[in-house]
Amino acid sequence: MSNLHDLLAYEVVAGINGGLFSAEEYVNSILKRIEDVESKLHSFITLDSEGALSAAKKIDRKIKEKEDTGELAGITVGIKDNISTKNIRTTCASKILEDYVPSYDATVIKHLKKNGAIILGKLNLDEFGMGSTTEYSRYQPTHNPWNLDYVPGGSSGGSGAAVAARECTVSLGSDTGGSIRCPASFCSVVGLKPTYGRVSRYGLISYANSLEQIGPICRSVRDLVMMVNIISGKDEMDNTSIPSSPITLNNKLGKLNVAIIKELITGSDHEVSRTIYSASEKFKEIGCTCDEISIKNLHYALPSYYTLASAEASSNLARYDNIRYGFDLPVEEYKWDTYFSKVRENFGEEVKRRILIGSYVLSSGYYSKYYLKARRLRSLLRLELLTLFKKYDLLIGPTMPIPPFKFGEKIDDPIKMYLVDINTVIANLAGIPAISLPVGFSNGLPIGLQIMAAPFEEQKLIDASYDLENSINIQRRTNAI
């Protein structure tokens, strides 16, 4: 048998339930793997080895007593550190929450635990999810397991890197403008941003409520299906959640109408475009039609996204006043406003920039010029996409316009950094599901294909991804670590 830490989620569940190895042995192999590679990667902010081992022993006891262990029995899940975990510190990679220990579990965490999954620890991100590289984490950046000199993508960079490096079986990320799909693409793993409403956001520490969703990052489409079915569902604690049908894993892809989004290809790096065209040929080989189409409102999408996301961030982050959440800074000797401004010095530069932009676009005189127009664009874009989905089952393009880049390349120019998200924000603005699937490499650095579908049509995304995954048969293991 290969190293236990190399196993995919469904193999782990089968192995533990079939008595091939115990949950404790499996968790120990994962902890050993972390010990070996974590000093090079920095995927984790908090590792809960003790909690993970104790959960594993509980599963082993259940198996011995022939009790139900759950569909995810024994798999280890890394959690992005902006998802609340009871009794495990949840920092959002921010100084402002460095001591915050939630008193409750997010709904997704409850679902995972109920189904036998083991919460392994909390993974690195750009502070509050604002960034595309993890360089904005207030701890330290995570490194790309395919080449340690390069960024892993973000903001869920820890979630992408840890799965690719086999430091955990699967992970959860959150996606506000591409934060699951970007690291999935840069780390050569599969990442899904579900339809807005499929997964409860209760316990996800908000950055831009109307855009964000929690989703899984995995090393195979089969693992992804297991995860998404467990975390989906209507939740009375999140009124935007909607009931949805479970996804199945089908062996045969029906004849689908696929369209490549021209603007996403023309704006991309040459090697990226070439790899995406070659993946689109696979669709034709399996009997799908593949047209090339244009989206009229596309060039307004990114400015609209940054307007809305910053506006929502400035409102959401107003709660960090050091009274309800925070660190040691006595309130005596301070006046009301000066205390809050002093405390909020502790936000990082990118968070401050976005709060300031948010305050700007919401202030009188600019509200209708920016904020209302951005909302109007959002509606137009969604309507345009819904019309396209009457004709096409899937829209495809590169997840990222460029392959992973080196640390420091874009950090001093916020616009350069924002442009990295140009292909992914579409799905968040429109509330539609989108997946990133590994389809190739450029000079040893991963390239991901983005597939989008109509709201709640995740089944079509999975059917197409499963088929492509089998036919492309990409290199799965990185030799860089």
Q: Report the interface residues with another protein, using CB under 8 A.
A: 103, 236, 239-240, 299-300, 303-304, 306-307, 314, 318, 322-326, 331-332, 334-342, 344-345, 347, 349, 352-353, 355-361, 363, 368-370, 372-377, 379-380, 382, 413-415, 418, 431
Please say which residue, 222 or 382, places its beta carbon nearer to another protein: 382
Q: Per-residue DSSP letters for 210-250?
A: TT-EEEEEESSHHHHHHHHHHHBS-BTTBTT----PPP---
Residues 469 and 439: their CA atoms lie apart, in Å, by 8
Contact criterion met (CB below 8 Å) for 91 and 327:
no
Catalytic residue among 137, 171, 179, 206: 179
Catalytic residue among 132, 155, 156, 220: 155
Contact criterion met (CB below 8 Å) for 360 and 230:
no
Question: Catalytic site residue 179?
Answer: yes
Nearest to 173 by CA among 188, 153, 193, 187: 193
Contacts of 412 (CB under 8 A, 6+ apart): none
Residues 187 and 438: their CA atoms lie apart, in Å, by 9
The distance of closest approach from Cβ of residue 335 to another protein in the complex, given in angstroms and rounded to an integer, is 5
Please say which residue, 163 or 355, places its beta carbon nearer to another protein: 355
Nearest to 136 by CA among 446, 414, 326, 405: 414
Contact criterion met (CB below 8 Å) for 271 and 279:
no
Please say which residue, 95 or 476, places its beta carbon nearer to another protein: 95
Question: Catalytic site residue 244?
Answer: no
Specify which residues 38 forms β-bridges with.
none
Please say which residue, 16 or 361, places its beta carbon nearer to another protein: 361
Please say which residue, 326 or 404, places its beta carbon nearer to another protein: 326
Please say which residue, 269 or 321, places its beta carbon nearer to another protein: 321
* Ramachandran sector of residue 87 (left: φ over 0; alpha: ψ -120 to 50; beta: rest): left
Catalytic residue among 80, 122, 410, 460: 80
The distance of closest approach from Cβ of residue 273 to another protein in the complex, given in angstroms and rounded to an integer, is 24
Residues 86 and 83: their CA atoms lie apart, in Å, by 10
Helix (H, G, I), strand (E, B) or coil at 406: strand
Residue reference for tokens 């593949």: 290
The distance of closest approach from Cβ of residue 95 to another protein in the complex, given in angstroms and rounded to an integer, is 13
Q: Greatest CA span in the chain, whole angstroms?
A: 72
Contact criterion met (CB below 8 Å) for 256 and 393:
yes
Contacts of 369 (CB under 8 A, 6+ apart): none
The distance of closest approach from Cβ of residue 382 to another protein in the complex, given in angstroms and rounded to an integer, is 6
Please say which residue, 14 or 331, places its beta carbon nearer to another protein: 331
Question: Catalytic site residue 155?
Answer: yes
Residues 425 and 411: their CA atoms lie apart, in Å, by 20
Catalytic residue IDs: 80, 155, 179
